[in-house]
């Protein structure tokens, strides 16, 4: 497996030149685009094994991949039924930061929890009296899911997100005006910006994916961290909405529940088989890791991971 991953990293680095790092968040524009890494937590044969290659241990900003974590928490803090009264579970057909999905649909709520408007609502549903308390709880849960006590908010990414987050502000205030969001908008946005600025590695993402793949049971401790029904919901929405407007193409050609982020991360959860984490900050036009998606496609083919086959 190590040899396979090394080969995949080496073969797919050629795609980096066709992508670009995210520049609309200034701190992300400083990231070295030539990095590429992959990590796998393998659950097959009832064994727990870690495999990795390339820049698998490089720390980066979790960005939209964090939406998986907060969706789990919101459903555990409330109930799936309550959460999905506030948001839909359909692909949007619009950009991840567009207001159109709320304006055109019959019901004026965000289409799904993985577009920005939906994720802001989800963050508001995580229990906590203010941004600090919500952020602390999100960090604690992320540390549990990754078995990594060093996870924290990357301060310069957070400040950069906050300075340039005007579209997210407009979405949040629109939803406040439509009674979709309760609470103080600036406080909710603050915890949302912090959520997106959490530090992770590809290995951390692979471990989160392994918990989801293992039906919510932590494979290294056998502790249940996520109820099984919530795991099923999250993995289903990852398949249909996890890679923005590339989700349909991704499902057809790769067939793995996954969630991407503009920090270059991709979190994959192959039911009953493995968790996958990828880091490649050069993005395609949809905002997904350009080399990472190619690498995941080859990995799915080589290891027969497509859930639809």
The catalytic residues are 64, 67, 192, 244, 262
User: What letters, b where the CB count within 10 A reaches 16 and e where it falls short, cover 109-121?
Assistant: bbbbbbbbbbbbb
Q: Which residues have CB under 8 Å from 255's CB, separation 6+?
A: 300, 305, 306, 307, 308, 309
Q: What torsion do the CA atoms of 219, 220, 223, 225 make, to the nearest 10 degrees?
A: -60
CA dist 162 → 47, 191, 220 (Å): 42, 10, 36
Q: What torsion do the CA atoms of 154, 279, 40, 144 make, to the nearest 10 degrees?
A: 10
Confirm whether residue 51 is marked as ligand binding: no
Confirm whether residue 6 is marked as ligand binding: no
83 vs 216: CA distance, rounded Å = 19
Confirm whether residue 168 is marked as ligand binding: yes
63 vs 98: CA distance, rounded Å = 17
Confirm whether residue 244 is marked as ligand binding: yes
Confirm whether residue 161 is marked as ligand binding: yes
Q: Which residues are annotated as a binding site for substrate?
A: 64, 116, 161, 168, 192, 244, 262
Q: Which residues are annotated as a binding site?
A: 64, 116, 161, 168, 192, 244, 262
């Amino acid at each position: 497996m190590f040899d396979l991953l090394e080969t995949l990293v080496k073969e797919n680095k050629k795609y980096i030149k066709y992508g670009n790092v995210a520049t609309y968040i200034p701190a992300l524009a400083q990231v070295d685009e030539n990095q590429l890494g992959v990590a796998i937590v393998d659950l097959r044969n009832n064994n727990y094994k870690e495999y990795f290659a390339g820049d698998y241990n490089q720390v980066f900003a979790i960005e939209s991949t964090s939406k998986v974590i907060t969706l789990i928490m919101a459903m555990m803090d409330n109930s799936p039924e309550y959460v999905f009264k506030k948001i839909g579970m359909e692909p949007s057909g619009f950009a991840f930061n567009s207001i159109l999905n709320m304006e055109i649909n019959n019901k004026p709520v965000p289409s799904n929890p993985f577009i920005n408007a939906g994720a802001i609502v989800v963050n508001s549903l995580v229990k906590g009296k203010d941004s600090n308390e919500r952020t602390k709880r999100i960090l604690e849960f992320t540390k549990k899911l990754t078995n990594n006590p060093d996870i924290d908010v990357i301060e310069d990414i957070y400040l950069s997100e906050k300075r340039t987050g005007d579209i997210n502000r407009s979405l949040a205030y629109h939803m406040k005006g439509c009674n979709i969001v309760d609470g103080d908008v600036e406080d909710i946005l603050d915890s949302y910006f912090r959520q997106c600025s959490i530090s992770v590695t590809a290995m951390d993402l692979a471990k989160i994916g392994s918990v989801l793949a293992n039906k919510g049971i932590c494979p290294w401790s056998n502790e249940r961290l996520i109820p099984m029904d919530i795991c099923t919901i999250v993995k289903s929405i990852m398949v249909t909405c996890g890679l923005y407007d590339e989700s349909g193409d991704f499902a057809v050609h790769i067939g793995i529940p996954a969630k991407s982020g503009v920090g270059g991360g991709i979190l994959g959860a192959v039911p009953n088989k493995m968790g996958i984490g990828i880091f490649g900050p050069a993005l395609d036009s949809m905002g997904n890791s350009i080399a990472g998606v190619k690498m995941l496609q080859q990995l799915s083919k080589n290891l027969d991971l497509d859930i639809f086959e």
